């Protein structure tokens, strides 16, 4: 089977890898709803060459294994909400902090199962934080308040047009995937987050670090399949930024390979 790339966006749906996107549980017009930003859907279609499907959060009737049996990859998205600190034995959040316990209850166990099965996983922003927690790590709840911390903008303190503009550099680890893909040691990324990695989870291998030492990307070292977590937002720049495009291309290729292997077993 031909490997999937961003240029393969014209493939028919039957040939595209099916990529599940986790969702936020929100209230919309007084109804419980499952939400995912359009940018992630666009990046899956045009950046990874995939067919996006939405994973409901908090649905007790959902069988994780049944869902994983029909997807070729998973994208854990960013979100305005914070992972509940109870999930990593952290201190209570500041008053007014937005949480999404139904998403926590869905994504944290799903990440562990998917990685163990070799399902390709790309985790972005909150998804990156979820992956760290899923592997036993902890989080800083307000990175911008840490002594000596670089300004990691959260978005709402600047004009919306600048939310996804390049914000700060990250150093790419010498033995990492990102360094190999880009052939350079430093890239500039956007930034839109409150939380960040504190204690790195077990078995996670650092891929990128901000100048203040904050871990900005990692992978699961012993994972049988593609697993990458990034703190920034490549979905907002896959059409214009080389690293963002490469992340989605590699994710799409991994999903296509997983699809081919899954169908060859039938």
Torsion angle, CA of 141/143/145/149, rounded to 10 degrees?
Answer: 160
Average pLDDT over all residues of the chain? 88
Residues 6 or more apart whose Cβ sits within 8 Å of residue 176:
205, 206, 207, 208, 217, 219
CATH code where residue 47 lies? 3.40.50.880
Per-residue pLDDT tens over the stretch 46-98:
999 999 999 888 865 567 888 899 999 999 999 888 999 999 999 999 998 88
pLDDT higher than threshold 80 for residue 236:
yes
Give me the mean pLDDT over the 32-56 stretch: 90
Exposed/middle/buried for residue 200 (C-beta within 10 Å: 0-12, 13-18, 19+): middle
* b (16+ CB within 10 A) / e for 40-58: bbebbbbbbbbbbeebbbb
Q: Which of 34, 152, 194, 233 is catalytic?
A: 233
Asked if 129 contacts 196 with a C-beta cutoff of 8 angstroms, the reply is: yes
Asked whether residue 167 is domain-assigned, the answer is: yes
Q: Which of 22, 34, 87, 125 is catalytic?
A: 125
Asked whether residue 145 is domain-assigned, the answer is: yes
Looking at the structure of the chain, the number of domains it has is 1
Per-residue pLDDT tens over the stretch 169-193:
999 999 999 999 999 999 999 987 7
Asked whether residue 54 is domain-assigned, the answer is: yes
Asked whether residue 30 is domain-assigned, the answer is: yes
Domain that holds residue 222: 6-264
Q: Which of 235, 249, 250, 255 is catalytic?
A: 235
Asked whether residue 1 is domain-assigned, the answer is: no
Exposed/middle/buried for residue 97 (C-beta within 10 Å: 0-12, 13-18, 19+): middle
Q: What confidence score (pLDDT) does residue 136 get?
A: 98
Q: Is 235 a catalytic residue?
A: yes
Distances (CA, A) of 28 to 17, 33, 36, 101: 30, 6, 13, 17
How many degrees, rounded to 5, is the angle at CA 120 between CA 116 and CA 124? 105
Per-residue pLDDT tens over the stretch 123-142:
999 999 999 999 999 999 98
């Amino acid at each position: 089977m031909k490997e999937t790339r961003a240029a393969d966006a014209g493939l028919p749906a039957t040939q595209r890898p099916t990529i599940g996107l986790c969702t936020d549980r929100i209230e919309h017009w007084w109804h419980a709803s499952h939400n995912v930003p359009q940018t992630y859907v666009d990046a899956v279609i045009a950046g990874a060459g995939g067919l996006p499907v939405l994973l409901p959060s908090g649905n007790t009737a959902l069988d994780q294994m049944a869902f994983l049996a029909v997807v070729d990859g998973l994208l854990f998205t960013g979100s305005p909400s914070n992972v509940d600190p109870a999930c990593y034995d952290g201190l209570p959040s500041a008053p007014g902090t937005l949480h999404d316990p139904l998403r926590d209850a869905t994504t944290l166990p799903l990440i562990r199962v998917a990685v163990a099965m070799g399902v390709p996983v790309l985790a972005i922003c909150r998804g990156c934080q979820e992956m760290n927690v899923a592997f036993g790590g902890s989080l800083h709840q307000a990175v911008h308040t840490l002594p000596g911390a670089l300004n990691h903008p959260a978005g709402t303190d600047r004009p919306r047009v600048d939310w996804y503009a390049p914000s700060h550099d990250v150093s790419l680890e010498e033995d990492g995937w990102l360094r190999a893909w880009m052939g350079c040691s430093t890239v500039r990324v956007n930034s839109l987050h409150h939380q960040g990695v504190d204690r790195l989870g077990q078995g996670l291998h650092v891929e990128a670090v901000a100048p203040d030492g904050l871990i900005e990307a990692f992978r699961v070292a012993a994972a049988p399949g593609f697993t990458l977590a990034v703190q920034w937002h490549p979905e907002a720049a896959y059409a214009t930024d080389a690293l963002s495009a490469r992340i989605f291309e590699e994710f799409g290729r991994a999903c296509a390979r997983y699809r081919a292997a899954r169908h060859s077993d039938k």
